[in-house]
A and B are shown apart, each in its own frame.
Chain A
Amino acid sequence: MRYSGFRVIAEALTGHKGWKPVWRDPAPQPEYDYIIIGGGGHGLATAYYLAKEFGQARIAVLEKGYLGGGNVGRNTTIIRSNYLLDGNEPFYEFSLKLWEGLEQDFNYNAMVSQRGIINLIHTDAQRDAFTRRGNAMRLHGADAELLSREQVRQMYPWLNFDNARFPIKGALMQRRGGTVRHDAVAWGYARGADLRGVDLIQNCEVTGMRIENGRIKGVETTRGFIGAKKVGVAVAGSSSKVMAYAGMRLPIESHVLQAFVSEGLKPLIDGVMTFGAGHFYVSQSDKGGLVFGGDIDGYNSYAQRGNLPVIEDVAEGGMALMPAIGRVRLLRTWGGIMDMSMDGSPFIDKTPVEGLYFNGGWCYGGFKATPASGWCFAHLMARDEPHKTATAYRLDRFLKGRMIDEKGQGAQPNLH
């Protein structure tokens, strides 16, 4: 069923009796050409692009729980391409371009809203660093603007511009950045993949991999063995658990990142704002809630919930920047599990096992990468060579000395 404005009106006039389930619920086949482990944003996007852009068939997505029930449903929905390094910026700009055409491409309303993102500047050194980053972005075809203190004040006059420790001196702005309705991204990709014949198999946990003579033969699941010529793993958060089935140890630690939403307010922030120095970033949802977050808790965790010290830290950051929110009540807090890699950058690569491919290590930047991650992973799986924007995301880059360390923190995952 194709969605359109006409269709909505026609259904409204006939009591909404014509809507059908958006995707099938198939039983697993004995064998596929491609199995994608993980029915989140990246896994569903991979299956969608494998079918649509790379003309492949006999594809299944295996999901332990329900589609979109992991990090694609737990993030703070921001899209941007404001990276510095050559290994990253072309990839994220590719992703942002895909976001810009996504809804037409998969015929689903994902509420892509390019409302602009600003990164606040507090010192001369930070302005130099952001100027450099903005220039790097523009060299790769992205947009970037340096805003003065007065320009920021025009946008958000109620910010605390004269905080004693971090006075606001300006901002780096990317107008094409913004927010997206995160669940709709998973649903749109799922529907698009299903329409092209991909089997989306839920409640199907992978419990092992069958590897013979260094080649993948299929996966053991809670619904029996399923054979496959190629298997792609896109389970960020649980990458170490799944790749251990293939005997691999990864340069990844799992950490919990918390997020927050306040009660609904009248329009206050029309874009996205990051206050990196204060470990705080915020946007406002279309329902009016302030959606915000800060740093990861900082210790290994698979718990999908964090602890109170980080909640306090984030609330303090918010109060330092926006004293006006002092009496706003918090509606919900939650946590998601991040693949924190050793240099803060992701992996899209082959593995030593022939036919087994790995996608993970997204740290807390996985959502914005969803379209390009799916496209590049599909490219790698279909053609056995990396997409031109994802050549740096190698698993062996630490051994070769080719880290992509945006923050220059070294092998300390909780500092990226």
Chain B
Amino acid sequence: MIIHHPILGPRDAQEFVYLGDAALMNRPDGMTAGIEEFHDWLYNRDNPAGEHQELWYHEQGDRSWLVVTRNTVTHEITKVELARDVARSKGRSK
């Protein structure tokens, strides 16, 4: 698989480390969330067959975190964004 890095261009997926569903970015607020909400965030997954947004870390590159939109049935990658930009678009400061 080739991941089109928004800054570095096309890179082999081997250069990256895979973390999982990009929903892991949406960690509940530790001061208010209950144990069930935290459990759901950490352990449960949608695990779709089809389009999936996921976190890839460019370990052997610029060490940026990316949000890659990829089809889990065909392995086709349709969108690659910096995780930072995705977080900011949701109103986060970083």
Contacts and interface: CB of A to CB of B under 8 A. Distances in A.
Given A253-B20, A307-B1, A411-B43, A302 B14 contact: no
Interface in A224-248: 238, 240-241
Nearest to A251: B43
Interface string B58-82: 0000000000001011110000000
Contact of A300 (B1, B42, B43, B47): B47
B5 interface: no
Interface string B26-47: 0000000001100110111111
Given A300-B52, A414-B18, A399 B35 contact: yes
A297 to B, nearest CB: 9
Nearest to B19: A412
Interface in A287-340: 298-303, 307, 309
A309 to B, nearest CB: 5
A300 B46 CA distance: 11
B47 to A, nearest CB: 4
A342 B73 contact: no
A298 B42 CA distance: 18
A254 interface: yes
Which are the 4 A-B pairs with shortest beta-carbon distances?
A240-B47, A302-B49, A249-B44, A251-B43
A413 interface: yes
Interface string A170-205: 000000000000000000000000000000000000
Contacts of B49: 238, 241, 254, 302
Contact of A254 (B19, B40, B72, B74): B72
B44 A300 contact: no
A412 B45 CA distance: 12
Interface string A399-415: 10000000000011110
Contacts of A251: 43-45
A252 B21 CA distance: 11
Contact of A309 (B13, B52, B70): B13
Contacts of B74: 303
A238 B72 CA distance: 12
A398 interface: yes
Interface in A103-160: none
A357 B16 CA distance: 38
25 contacts: A238-B49, A240-B47, A240-B48, A241-B49, A249-B40, A250-B47, A252-B45, A252-B47, A253-B21, A253-B45, A253-B47, A254-B47, A254-B49, A298-B18, A299-B13, A301-B72, A302-B49, A302-B72, A303-B72, A307-B1, A307-B13, A399-B39, A411-B42, A413-B20, A414-B18
Contacts of A302: 49, 72-73
B75 A398 contact: no
Interface residues of A, number: 24
Contacts of A299: 13, 18, 54, 70
A95 B61 CA distance: 46
Given A299-B54, A300-B54, A398-B39, A240 B75 contact: no
Interface string B4-20: 00000000111000111
Contacts of B40: 249
Contacts of A309: 12-14
Contact of B43 (A301, A398, A414): A398
A411 B21 CA distance: 12
A62 B34 CA distance: 39
B39 A300 contact: no
B16 to A, nearest CB: 9
A398 B44 CA distance: 10
B73 A250 contact: no
Given A249-B45, A253-B21, A303-B72, 14 more contacts: A240-B48, A249-B47, A252-B47, A253-B45, A254-B49, A299-B18, A299-B54, A300-B20, A300-B21, A300-B54, A300-B72, A301-B75, A399-B43, A411-B43
Best-surrounded residue of A250, A299, A309, A413 (most CB of chain B within 10 A) = A299
A253 B12 CA distance: 23
A412 B19 CA distance: 8
A48 to B, nearest CB: 29
Contacts of B54: 299-300
A342 B72 CA distance: 19
B47 A342 contact: no
